[in-house]
Structure 1
Amino acid sequence: MQFSAAKPSKLGYFFSQPHQPFFLLGMIDAVIFMLLFLLSYRGVIAVDAKFLHSYSMIFLVFTNFFYGFLYTTFPRFSGTAPIEQRFYIVVFFMQVLATLSFLISLLFLPAFYAAVLFVAIGFALTLRKFYGIYRVCQLPKRDQYWIIVALGVGAMSNILFLLSQIPCRCNSTAFYTTAINFGVYLYMIFLAFVVALRMVPFFSHVMQWKRNPYLHLEIFVLFLLHSFLQGLFPAGVFIVDFIAGVLIAWELKKIALPFPNSEPLLWILHIALFWLAGGLIVGSIVEAFEYIYGFYSFALPLHFLVLGFLMTILIGFGTRVTLGHSGNLLRVDKGTVWIFYFTQIVVLGRILFSLFASGGKIYPFFDISATLFIALFVWWSAKYFKILAFGEKLGRVE
């Protein structure tokens, strides 16, 4: 007599792999908080638009994607057992509570302290778990080390955001500026860079290249310098970013990624890495013009990295993980290819906004840029929701 395993419920399947709940929460938060940012920037709702945008994107959008990806890959990098479901579900609900608390804080400011606390608990649990894995890992663990460092800086950034909102006689502006720089450069961009430099060559079947053993340290130090120079010596920021871009560009030249190629799941990742190097170099030129001529680019250098590199690579990784871990073939249809093209339209929309806004024409280009971002995440979610949440199997991909 043969017994077959009971088919899990939809809710059971949804929580069966870490990327599923975290990716979905990240998508929902991306749409909600970009819409709220649009309304706040327009003055429709009376909240600090810049603070809303920076905190929500760093800790309630991209952090969810990081958790979803890292809870799957960090143990694999380390050759250890998968992370227990009961563990990552706790962190997931911390992120849900953080999202709800932050939304409440838009009406009742003290709720922000609860949001910071829930995010901090998520970081603390994750760092403890990853450090435990790191200690017992018998494989090379340089990448794991830098992942832990980046997450640690993310936890610091979260606390700095809190300090910037506590009434005191201290310089809260310095806390706020440092929180953004740490959160963007040393946490989000650096963490994604470490993971991408490991995974993209592997996916591209580039198994060997003469890797710069000090590249992670060099980029981390340069991003740290960027974070402090922006407030202390702005003239040095574009030099630091230019050096970082050249170092990464040189490493990409050595890797020799097979680009262009006919596989969308590869070329979208390649484009993201090119944006990292190119965004730093072009962004440094923009920063130089800002310093010399005094015009404001509306944080264009930062968005070269956050949209050009980070958003692009997360859409690429997210699609690959969603397909591969649902039992589908790693092949995408024409609809997904158009989503990949659309990621670059989102980046272009943000560039055009900065160009027109620096000349005084903020609207309607801001609205167009924000709407394109929302449309991207709505489109991807509509396309992949059933696959992500319930493991739907695709038919033949043409």
Structure 2
Amino acid sequence: MQFSTEKLSKRDYFFSQPHQPFFTLGIINAIISMLLFIPAYKGIFGIDAKFFHSYSMIFLVFTNFFLGFLYTTFPRFSGTFPIHPRKYLMVFLFNLLATVSFFVSIWLNLAFFAAAIFMAISFALTLKEFYSIYKVCTLPKNDQYWLIVAIGVGAISNIFFLLSYIPCSCKSNIIYDTAINFGIYLYLIFLAFVVAFRMVPFFSHVMNWEKNRYLHIEIFTLFLLHSFLYNLYPKALFLIDLIAAILIANELKKIKLPFPNKEPLLWILHISIFWLPAALFIGSLIEFFEKFYGIYSFQLPIHLLALGFLTTILIGFGTRVTLGHSGNMLIVDRVTVYIFYFTQIVILGRVIFSIMAYFGKISPFFDISATLWIVLFVWWMLKYFKVLAFGEKIA
């Protein structure tokens, strides 16, 4: 949906399309959460750094990007009218309240309960809105169904994080591990997988291929198995991820994306979707050596997915949506191409950190890896904030 912005004030324009407030909040959270994670990891704050990092990235960063994209595209997928601003702005308000509450929880632990409750309300409102669209949709709605399922699992993950935070004599670490695995595999990765396999071929003008009708349920089942086997039988994790990598790679082979491609807005999306099976495959090898030989990778399999697949596609889609919905041409300059290349440097930095940390050299490689993440989002913000927030036209 394109809006006529000539008579809108900057404030009214900022809230006139879903992606603008959500993307902005996601970018700000990406920068602030990493700035706070650095001292938290070093023990400067008296908090659980892993908990802080996982919750902030899943629900304060990636969730805002997802909602900004889906509140725009979910009605389009379903052939229905755009969602009224009042509805998505209510969700945005709860996400903002969750963000503030979560950061306050660094100094006031009880504030986390407010953050989790605000996020639960955000999920509930989103599920209600999307399900109402799903019910009246007359177009094929397999993708919409799985998007709703993924968001539902995200809501469950948020509840598990809340439960794991409550002091008790039970095995809260199992609840916490399930929260992370549900949040990353069944929510973040699976949702982005559904969107990517719908939109990347479409943007690439590849409309017809012999689709695997069972791919969604196959991948969802494998990720579900991964989440439960994490504690029950971790030695099987490598096999689960290997099967998922093979299935996705086989589907990509059938799609035959036009890669390499001279158009940056396409090749960045192609690289991101290729990262999905690659990250699962490499991650499966790492998991094998971790479980059978005791080699610790500092959560590298998850970060290959989160950086290689999620962050790369986030930057690609984010740039495309920002340009297209501001009335600009879908053409990027050399600076943007450098930003796209830089996404891969961020991944490389995280790989180097894991390698060096294994040999006991955490510093300065942790700081370099975290700083590269911050630089990526600051750089993108400097380049595209006025286009995103106020619809600035690029010459």
- Equivalence for 1:361: 361
- Equivalence for 1:261: 261
Alignment partner of 1:13 is 2:13: yes
Pair 364,147 (structure 1): closer, same or farther in 2 beyond 3 Å: same
Alignment gaps of 5+ in structure 2: none
Amino acid aligned to 2:235: A
Cα distance in 2 for partners of 1:188, 1:379 equals 24
Alignment partner of 1:77 is 2:77: yes
- Equivalence for 2:186: 186
- Equivalence for 1:55: 55
Amino acid aligned to 1:336: T
Amino acid aligned to 2:10: K
Cα distance in 2 for partners of 1:117, 1:220 equals 26
Runs of 4+ more than 6 Å apart: none
Deviation at 1:42, TM superposition (A): 1.6
Alignment partner of 1:348 is 2:348: yes
Alignment RMSD, CA only? 1.0
Cα distance in 1 for partners of 2:96, 2:384 equals 21
CA deviations over 1:6-43 (Å, ceiling 9, x no partner): 71110000000000000000000000001111111122
- Equivalence for 2:201: 201
- Equivalence for 2:230: 230
Deviation at 1:84, TM superposition (A): 0.3
- Equivalence for 2:176: 176
Structure 2 matches for 1:1-398, cutoff 5 A? Answer: 7-395=7-395
Cα distance in 2 for partners of 1:139, 1:182 equals 29
Cα distance in 2 for partners of 1:35, 1:293 equals 34
Amino acid aligned to 1:214: Y
Amino acid aligned to 2:267: W
The residue matched to 2:274 in structure 1 has which SS? helix
Pair 74,288 (structure 1): closer, same or farther in 2 beyond 3 Å: same
Contact 2:45–2:106, Cα closer than 8 Å, also in 1: no
The residue matched to 1:195 in structure 2 has which SS? helix
CA deviations over 1:128-163 (Å, ceiling 9, x no partner): 000000000000000000000000000000000000
Deviation at 1:5, TM superposition (A): 9.2
Pair 242,106 (structure 1): closer, same or farther in 2 beyond 3 Å: same
Deviation at 1:287, TM superposition (A): 0.4
Amino acid aligned to 1:187: Y
CA deviations over 1:243-269 (Å, ceiling 9, x no partner): 000000000000010000100000000
Deviation at 1:44, TM superposition (A): 2.3
The residue matched to 1:285 in structure 2 has which SS? helix
Cα distance in 1 for partners of 2:6, 2:154 equals 41
Amino acid aligned to 2:196: A
Cα distance in 2 for partners of 1:179, 1:334 equals 40
CA deviations over 1:92-145 (Å, ceiling 9, x no partner): 010110000001111111110000010000000000000000000000000000
Under a length normalisation based on structure 2, what TM-score does the superposition of the two structures give?
A: 0.98
CA deviations over 1:37-67 (Å, ceiling 9, x no partner): 1111122222211000000000000000000
Cα distance in 1 for partners of 2:202, 2:319 equals 17
The residue matched to 1:319 in structure 2 has which SS? helix
Cα distance in 2 for partners of 1:40, 1:173 equals 20
Deviation at 1:281, TM superposition (A): 0.5
Alignment gaps of 5+ in structure 1: none
Cα distance in 2 for partners of 1:275, 1:224 equals 20
Contact 2:14–2:389, Cα closer than 8 Å, also in 1: yes
Amino acid aligned to 1:25: L
Cα distance in 1 for partners of 2:246, 2:208 equals 21
Pair 234,189 (structure 1): closer, same or farther in 2 beyond 3 Å: same
Contact 2:153–2:183, Cα closer than 8 Å, also in 1: yes
The residue matched to 2:341 in structure 1 has which SS? helix
CA deviations over 1:264-322 (Å, ceiling 9, x no partner): 00000000011100000111000001111102100000111000000000000000000
Pair 5,263 (structure 1): closer, same or farther in 2 beyond 3 Å: closer
The residue matched to 1:373 in structure 2 has which SS? helix
Amino acid aligned to 2:11: L
The residue matched to 1:82 in structure 2 has which SS? coil
Amino acid aligned to 1:105: S
CA deviations over 1:190-238 (Å, ceiling 9, x no partner): 0000000000000000010000000000000000000011111011000
